[in-house]
Amino acid sequence: MLDGRVYGETTSTPPAGNYTIESLDTGLRLMQLFLTEETLTVTEAARRLAVGRSTAHRVLSTLQGRGFAVRDPSGRGYEAGPELLRLGSPAGFDPAVRARLGAVLDDAARRTGETVQTAALIGDRILVTDGRESSHPVRVMLETGRTRWAHATAVGKVLLARLTEDQLCELYPQERLPAVTTHTVVSRAALLTELAEVRELGRAFSRGESVSGLHAVAVPLTGSGRRTRIALGASAPAGRGDDAALAERAGRLRRSAAALLTDGGPR
C-alpha cells in the first residue's frame, strides 16, 4: 500500500547576507538533496538546483572526491557517499541501537498485529529506519529507508511535537504545507494546533494523510536530542484503523516502548 516517491525542491535563493560563497551554497544544497533522493544525475541536479550542467558536474565531482557522493551502480548518476551517510544517519541506523530497537519492534508487531516501524526526523521529512511487516493478507508494506513528509505521518507528528514553536516555524517558514493526499493538513496553523494535542496525549494519528486508505498511530520511543529522537508507529488499512483501534494500538506501542526505556534507552 505504501507507494510513491517524495519529491523535494531546494531553494535557489542563497541565505540572507553578503558573505555567501556561491559554490559552497550549491554544494550544501546538493547534499540536502542526497538526504531524500536515492540517486541524482547531473541533469537532475542542475535542474533541481537551477544551475548549469557544468556547475552541477563540478560540484558532484568535488563531493565525490571527498567521499560525500559516489557513482551509482548504473554509472549514470550519483548517490550519497559514506561521509554524508555517516553525518546524516540518525540514531536508528547505528548498528548497536538498531539491534536493541529490533526487540522493541518484534514486541510491537506481536502486540498490535500490524506493520510497525521506527522513524527519525530529517528536516521536514521522516526516514523509516527499521520495521516489521504484518502477517495479515491485506497489510501495509514496510519500506525501510524511504522518506515521507513529516506533517503527513503519525511518526512525523510525534517527532515534530518534540520541537519548539520557533523550531517549527523555522522548519515551515510558509503557511502552506505540501498536500500529499486530500486528507493532509496543509496549513501550518492547523499543524501547530494538532501538535499541541499530540504533546498532551503523547501519541499521534494519521488518517489517510500520507497514503489514501492507510491509517497509523505513533508514540515517542526514545532520544533526548533532535538527532537521536525516534518514534514508534503502527500502520494498517483504514478498515482496521478507526480512532478506537488506533487509540488502543497506541497503548500497546507504549508498552513495547517501555521495555526499552526501562533498559536505559539506546547508548
Q: Is the pLDDT of residue 164 over 60?
A: yes
pTM of model > 0.85: no
**Sequence-distant (≥ 6) Cβ neighbours of residue 57 within 8 angstroms:** 42
Residue with cell 541536479: 45
* The predicted structure's pLDDT at residue 5: 30
Percent of the chain with pLDDT over 90: 56
* The predicted structure's pLDDT at residue 147: 81
The answer to whether 100 and 263 have CB atoms below 8 angstroms apart is yes
Q: How far apart are CA 21 and CA 44, in angstroms?
A: 22
Average pLDDT over residues 6-13: 39
Q: Is the pLDDT of residue 67 over 50?
A: yes
Instruction: Assign 2 a pLDDT band (cuts: 50, 70, 90).
Output: very low
* The predicted structure's pLDDT at residue 79: 84
121: β partners: 126
Q: Is the pLDDT of residue 8 over 80?
A: no
* The predicted structure's pLDDT at residue 133: 97
* The predicted structure's pLDDT at residue 121: 86
Instruction: Assign 51 a pLDDT band (cuts: 50, 70, 90).
Output: very high
Instruction: Assign 75 a pLDDT band (cuts: 50, 70, 90).
Output: confident
Please tell me the chain's helix, strand, coil percentages from 3-state DSSP, rounded to the nearest 5. 45, 20, 40
**Sequence-distant (≥ 6) Cβ neighbours of residue 33 within 8 angstroms:** 8, 10, 40, 45, 48, 49
Average pLDDT over residues 58-84: 85
Tens of pLDDT, residues 170-187: 889 999 999 999 999 999
* The predicted structure's pLDDT at residue 54: 93
Q: How far apart are CA 84 and CA 242, in angstroms?
A: 40
Tens of pLDDT, residues 203-238: 999 999 999 999 999 999 876 666 678 999 999 999
The answer to whether 259 and 107 have CB atoms below 8 angstroms apart is yes
Which residue from 233, 218, 230 is spatially nearest to 265, judged by alpha carbons? 230
